[in-house]
Structure 1
Amino acid sequence: MTLDVSRRSLFALGAGLGASAVLGDVAHAKAPKLGPAPQHFYRFNVGDAEVTVVSDGLLDLGNPKGTFTGVSDDEMSKMLTDNFLDPADVVLQQNSPIVNTGDKLILFDTGMGTSTMFGDATGKQQKSMKEAGIKAEDIDAVVFSHGHIDHIGGVVGQDGKNLFPNAQFYIAESDFNYWTDYDKAGPKLKDFVDHAKKNLMPVRDRLVFYKDDQEFLPGVHALHAPGHTVGHTIFMISSGGKQFCYTADLTHHPILLMEKPLMEFSFDTDPKQAAQSRVKMLDMLATNKIPILAYHYAWPGVGHVAKNASGGFHYYPEGMQL
């Protein structure tokens, strides 16, 4: 005998017997919530090099008004809400690449470290490195894009001792001189200088000053992009005929400072110079279709830059390679 059970009769049966009788007890099964994913690293290849992105955590800037300037409050709110972002609370990431060239293990920037100036969701880099299977003592080179607190803050631990005992450290000389001098930085930035001195002076004898347009490590090319700080630098990383650019703080936000790159950012030493550097470098990256890794973009900060019709730029995040 053949039974012809229609969709309508099946639903009627389900209604009469109850979902559990038709589907079994699985409809009532409950599993515990697992909480957030424990790992904060992402790994991919560029040519023959292996790149691991590690997180120092979230950096909450709060309300963007007064921090990002150059457009009206209403226009800025619209730019954010049109992209499904909170117009009253800007939260940045901190994405540091660690490049394994086969000969050198190179970390770019070290996060906030022990400082809680921007809240207690920072200072996660050492934990992220451990999750990624990378030991701090195996780092051969630590490269600073500039001397701001959220980039040089993780050199020493709570005890003031160097966390990277076998590393050489690299920074622009102009930034080192500026951020270790209270007179140059001024009284408003005392905390920044305190933190720079705390982290940079213990490794002063291991500091090497790179220069603009210099390949100071194999496959690592410095490109001076001043304005955010006097010596702010981005880096072109090349391997096996492939390359990507670590853009550091060329732009802090994937919408603000990208769609309208002449907007200004209150933490810039020279906001107008920073805007000109931003336009110059973004134009170069877009024209040459060079992939980027942005320090403050949504995790893991990897993507591409393209020019938009209004004279600004658009960021296209790249799908994660799983």
Structure 2
Amino acid sequence: MAKITRNVQPVTARIGKEGAGELVPSRYAVKIGDIDVVLISDGILPLPTSTMSTNVSEADRNEWFDGRFLQRDMFDWALNIALVKRGDRLILIDSGVGDGFDYFTRAGQSMTRLESAGIDLSAITDIVITHMHMDHVGGLNVDGVRRKLRPDVRIHVAAAEVAFWKNPDFSKTVMPEAVPPALRKAAEKFVALYSENIVQFDQTVEVAAGVSARVTGGHTPGHCVVDVASNGEKLTFVGDAIFEVGFENPAWQNGFEHDPEKAVSVRVALLNEAAETGAMLAAAHVAFPSIGHIAKDGDHFRFVPVLWDY
């Protein structure tokens, strides 16, 4: 008997009255000490499974996807952003893909979902961009968003990231043909729209008390992660440093990594750090809400999702 796999298709089922809201949850909140953190789903990016493991055999890749009852050819990449509330500071981490890409019709929901959660965009004091790929800056590029943000909003981006996108190198990436031009276009538009608001930093920056960004590199030269720490508790939003396959197979390289070998070392270091400290981890491309702990099994790791608290 052929193995049944999950079809890659949008959830269309609706129950109740028209306009009653989404059937599938799109935001989840946790408290880290005195700091509120909300993970928000921007949607789904369907991409070839080959981009998840460019340095391994098709057989090994198929075994991983078969073991999770997933299709072998296309994979639904989750796309998550985060919102952090610390005192009078409201910090957005990344912004989703936006609406400028016809092949990503199931994503681009971040700005709408922020507003549906009662978040006024003008209340955001700071934005941290983990890196300038289109699925992280694209939400800010949507028409009308700039006008809704406060004029003095601070957008924290690593200096190495800003410099890289002036002349980006794709020589080590393995992406669908349409993606590199789209990445260039989104990064250029972001810088043009927000040049007066971008606050560049070198290695680390404290955005608010207990909320800091640190450069890891690897995925892109200026890729950073965001640490949220309070009262002995910690959560790290790792951006694109870790993908679904990366817990059990941290050496598997991703086609979107501009320096795949360094990305592997960054991934292993972050996983070891979380396993040793017990800190929680959240990520842009781990199944929503992506919050969990890391357990170590020899040279491999295991993601332990948090139990949802209702």
TM-score by structure 1 length? 0.82
- The correspondence for 2:185, drawn from 166, 182, 194, is 194
Aligned residues, how many?
285
Alpha-carbon contact 2:126-2:207 (below 8 Å) kept:
no
- The correspondence for 1:269, drawn from 246, 258, 278, is 258
Per-residue CA distance 1:173-215 (angstroms, 9 max, x = gap): 1111212x2x334697232121111122211111111232442
3-state DSSP of counterpart to 2:141 = coil
- The correspondence for 1:50, drawn from 27, 36, 47, is 36
- The correspondence for 2:113, drawn from 128, 131, 137, is 128
- Partner residue of 1:6? none
Alpha-carbon contact 1:170-1:209 (below 8 Å) kept:
yes
Alpha-carbon contact 1:113-1:153 (below 8 Å) kept:
yes
- Partner residue of 1:239? 230
- Partner residue of 2:7? none
- Partner residue of 1:184? 168
- Please tell me the residue identity of whatever aligns with 1:134: I
Alpha-carbon contact 1:155-1:200 (below 8 Å) kept:
no
- The correspondence for 1:302, drawn from 266, 291, 294, is 291
Per-residue CA distance 1:20-62 (angstroms, 9 max, x = gap): xxxxxxxxxxxx944951652212211111112222111111x
- Partner residue of 1:27? none
In our comparison, the structure showing a higher alpha carbon Rg is 1
Which of structures 1 and 2 has the larger relative contact order (alpha carbons within 8 angstroms, sep 6+)? 2
Cα pair distance change 1:186/1:106, threshold 3 Å: same
Map 1:1-322 → 2, pairs under 5 A: 33-34=15-16, 36-37=22-23, 39-61=25-47, 63-116=48-101, 118-158=103-143, 161-166=146-151, 167-179=153-165, 181=166, 183-185=167-169, 189-253=180-244, 256-309=245-298, 311-322=299-310
Measure how far apart 1:295 and its partner are.
Answer: 1.2
Where do 5+ consecutive residues of structure 1 fail to align? 1-31
2:81, 2:170 → 1: CA distance?
Answer: 28
Where do 5+ consecutive residues of structure 2 fail to align? 1-13, 172-176
Per-residue CA distance 1:97-143 (angstroms, 9 max, x = gap): 10111220000000111222542011100111122111111111010
Measure how far apart 1:265 and its partner are.
Answer: 0.8
TM-score by structure 2 length? 0.85
Alpha-carbon contact 1:39-1:131 (below 8 Å) kept:
no
